[in-house]
Amino acid sequence: ELQLEKTRAEVALLQEEKRGWKVTSQKVEELTLEVERLETECDVKEAQKCELETRIKDLTCRLDQHQVESTSKIDELTEQLNTSSSNAARFEQDLKKTQNALTNESERRAVAEHEMGLMREQLLQNASLLASPHFSRAGSMRSEAGRQPFSLSGPDGNSISLGGGSGDLDEIALILRQQQMINDLRMRSEQYQRENERLRNLMEASSLVDSLEKRTSLRSFEAHKLQELESAYSRLKLELESLVAQKADAGLENMDVKMLFDRIIEDNDRRREESAELRAMLSTRFERQSLLAGGSPRPDSGHWSAGHSDDGSSDLDEELCLERQCRQLKALAE
């Protein structure tokens, strides 16, 4: 019995060990799977690491290349900046030289204008001196004793008497030439002014005539037609009022006068529409004629061609008849 109990105890112990070994084997399998998963993750991480290293190398190469390009561009831009700075300095020097030259030229021009003014005043004084009666006396004002008198005739017919000295003759001849030049310049200036004024007047008159030819004729014709239409409208209103008064006085109050009045008003509106269309057609036709023919007679000038006779055969009358027939057909359709 002791041996049996001992055996049972060993069997129970072995069973416990068996269960422990089963649990241990399960844990070993789980650990094996975990080790495999970790190895797979390590392989993936290693591949990612290699890929990252490759990308880092590429980025490093590109960075080095960009750095080299940036350095070359910086050097090029620096060279351009230096060139531009030298050009700007040279341009500033040229500008200063130009400004100095302009200032000197302005000063020289002012001096020349001043000298020209003085010369002009001197020429005017010389001309006044030549025109004075004291200068053309029988004896020269600057003649010396013992010299023979010598006379010159000026451009204005004044006789100039002077001594026989060559210096006086040269001076007087120079003064006469200056006076002749002054007179010629004055005459040419006045002639040019008159010619410019005449041309300006001609241009203004031409533009005024063109504008009047384009506007006055058509406007006067339209005003005349409008006045005729207004007078016809007023006459029609007066006739209508007299008709209504006559019908009322004759004891025909029960007559349908309103229908007659509406019909007359409608006819009047139709005629006003016709007049508006006629004015539009006339203005279009006159503008077309003015563009194509230029010199064709205006409607208010009293000239009418054979195509504008009163027999109703003109294009304008045909267009009016067509418009009138269209309105009648529309009225019948309504």
User: What gap in Å lies between CA 76 and CA 72, rounded to an integer?
Assistant: 6
Task: Give the pLDDT confidence score for residue 328 in this predicted structure.
Answer: 63
Task: Give the pLDDT confidence score for residue 160 in this predicted structure.
Answer: 47
Query: Are the CB atoms for 261 and 245 separated by under 8 Å?
Result: no
3-state secondary structure the chain: CHHHHHHHHHHHHHHHHHHHHHHHHHHHHHHHHHHHHHHHHHHHHHHHHHHHHHHHHHHHHHHHHHHHHHHHHHHHHHHHHHHHHHHHHHHHHHHHHHHHHHHHHHHHHHHHHHHHHHHHHHHHHHHHHHHCHHHHCCCCCCCCCCCCCEEEECCCCCEEEECCCHHHHHHHHHHHHHHHHHHHHHHHHHHHHHHHHHHHHHHHHHHHHHHHHHHHHHHHHHHHHHHHHHHHHHHHHHHHHHHHHHHHHCCCCCCCHHHHHHHHHHHHHHHHHHHHHHHHHHHHHHHHHHHHCCCCCCHHHCCCCHHHCCCCCCHHHHHHHHHHHHHHHHHHHC
Give the pLDDT confidence of 220-279 residue by residue, as tens digits. Answer: 666 666 777 777 777 777 777 776 676 666 655 545 566 666 777 777 777 777 777 777
Residue 193 region, left (φ>0) first, then alpha (ψ -120 to 50), else beta?
Answer: alpha
Residue 147 tokens read as 């010299």
Task: Give the pLDDT confidence score for residue 38 in this predicted structure.
Answer: 92
Residues 6+ apart with CB under 8 A from 299: 217, 218, 221, 282, 286
Task: Give the pLDDT confidence score for residue 215 in this predicted structure.
Answer: 55
Tally the residues of the chain. 334
Task: Give the pLDDT confidence score for residue 17 in this predicted structure.
Answer: 86
Task: Give the pLDDT confidence score for residue 315 in this predicted structure.
Answer: 57
Residue 143 tokens read as 């003649």
Residue 309 region, left (φ>0) first, then alpha (ψ -120 to 50), else beta?
Answer: beta
Q: Phi and psi of 148, rounded to 5°?
A: -80, 140
Q: How many CB atoms lie within 10 A of CB 255?
A: 12
Task: Provide the whole-model pTM.
Answer: 0.27
**153 bridge partner residues:** 159
Task: Give the pLDDT confidence score for residue 180 in this predicted structure.
Answer: 78
Q: Phi and psi of 311, rounded to 5°?
A: -85, 0
With a cut of 50, which residues of the chain have pLDDT below it? 136-165, 254, 295-313
